[in-house]
Structure 1
Amino acid sequence: MASQAPTAPANAPAAAPADGAAALPGGIEIFRAGTHRDDAGNTHTFTRAQLQELADSYNAALREAPLTVGHPKDNLPAYGWVQRVFVNEAGNLAVDAHQVDAAFAEMVKAGRFKKRSASLYPPTAPHNPTPGKWYLRHVAFLGAQPPAVAGLKDISYSVADAAEAVTLDFSEAAGAPAPIPAQTQEPPMSDTDKAELEKLRAEAKASQDATAKLQADLQAANDAHAAAQAQVKSFAEKAAAERRASFVSFAEAEIKAGRLLPKDKNLAVATLETLAAGEQALSFSEGATTTQVTPLQMCAWLQGQMSSRTAVVQFGELAGGADAPAFDARGKSDEDIDQAARRYQAEHPSVSYAEALTQVTRFTA
């Protein structure tokens, strides 16, 4: 990948919040090109092009790098997050931070964490979100521990007005990293600083616990909702099955009473089921009165109309006479009954199909 310095606006340090709240300045240097030794004692050489590739591969939406104190193995607790990674005009890797804990920002501003150190995922690391490329894991702020990469600019704040934008003061000349003297060590943290740091860690832990509880409560609510939906579905299916059984029983009773032809059984059952499955009541007006009828009331009305009909099929004795048919309708199919009625109608042209049907469905006991 070709090395190309970003434009001036892209490298400009981020401005302080408009309300003057504590924050870190933009463009904090965290790494530089050259050969460096990691905490395990291994050396790595980074070119300007590799720094640019590392900056280009960073994606906060994919995996956001936290701001930490020291190099914790689990990246916790986080006192802020890296919003942007870029190569500044000096050729060093720099970051803009956001969502920074106010107390932590004040401690950095007071000079209690003057040094920074980058933690990187190697290209072959199992958890590297961009396999094959280096990726920023976290940015460590160091107090008593010196960083593995020397020569990075210290963070400085504008003292003109706390509400104005903060800037970085580039006081060191760019060049090869200076060797780290074996005796180099920052002054140990004071008891007050340790107490403030522990307070920050406790607050971070409390926030994590609260988030975990919210997630557990949300999961429990989702499970309860799913269980309620399943129960409602089960009740609806059971009610539908019971309604269908009652409609089938009703249709069979109407067939036995002669008010419904066997061939119309399935249609009658389907009609009643369709009415019962309706979701809205039917409204109609009679003068100044508005009446609503539910789907089940419609079914009851239709069943009442069917039960009050005159039998269309009469199973009984036929009075003796020349017109008494020899056809016995008992046990016959709808098709057999239909053919017998048409034959009777052909023999008696003045008789309607309904009358012929009545005649052929009568039998002698």
Structure 2
Amino acid sequence: MAVSARRVPISKVVIAEDEIRAVVEVLRSGNLREGAICQAFEQEFAAAVDARFALTASSGTAALQMAYHALLQPGDQVLVPAFTFYATASMVLAAGGVPVFCDVDPQTLTLDVEDAARKVTKRTRAIAPVHLYGNAADVSRIRALAEANRLDVVWDAAQAHGTQYQKQDVGSLSGVCTYSFYPSKNMTTGEGGMVTTDREELIEPMKLLRSQGQSRKYWHTTLGYNFRMTDIQAAIGRGQLRRLPTWVAQRRANASYLRDRLSCSALSVQLEQESSEHSYHQFSILLPASHNRERFMSRLRENGVESAVHYPTPLHRQPAFEVYARGVSLPVSEDASDRILSLPVHPYLSEPDLQYVADSALEALFASS
């Protein structure tokens, strides 16, 4: 089959002219490291998500480590979904904790709260729900589980910029919430992250970890690293944040179109959590078990449509976590990893692009059976 000259990328990074000017202004100032622009970004981000506090970080991974480090003692267990990105669990280890892997719901693909409840022990200190692909976790039931067992909650919102639950931005939820600003995310700073929280007592420990454990210059009171964002990155982030509501609205519109077009097929679309507004970092589908994913993706590539697999191996089957997951079986996570696929949903898709993506997906479905 001939390869189409048409190209529909799965993501598109756009840095606006005012963001470029803001970066140039920082460069000309000579104040390149974390400073006033980062502080302004923190304040604006906190206001945008209605959080009490916000702290910039060098990455979403660093944001998670800051959160875990402020909450955990060595050996504390943290309930983590197995179907997510590596850092949700790896940073538990980095903070001295122990990840306990839980399954996910087969429709929403977010944490299975019943499975998590079965795994609570006397050593369980926290739970780390992931708003996967921008789909809110089961917030009400997670809150109830946390309250019943006196657990801290670290909400992983790396993919959930603009996600809401019961008309409330997930960044304002009680506990700690972490974000990533990797280039493919709903908004970017190139690399970078953010922590939001309503708990004032966690701010100082997270600041110390972020900046070499210094309470003042060259006075190191605890273990720390360099997890600082730069003012260059924050200058981009401030402009991206202003555009985020428009982008998320367009992502939701694009996802609605794709869902309608694909709903009559054998493809299963991730179910939007009840009482929530998905921000569609990814538009994710599950192929029928009888279909070959590589063949499906190959046909999409021939048509010029980019797709991606997030994630091909669940965490409990990753070599890095072998010692923590011996004998663990999580059938939904294992099945999702075999069948998951993401299609383009970014806000710069035109109507013809969306039509072409849907047509190509339906054609690939037939070709991969």
Q: Structure 1 length normalisation: TM-score?
A: 0.23
Q: Relative contact order (alpha carbons < 8 A, sep ≥ 6): 1 or 2 greater? A: 2
Q: Structure 2 length normalisation: TM-score?
A: 0.22
Q: For the pair shown, which has the larger CA radius of gyration, 1 or 2?
A: 1
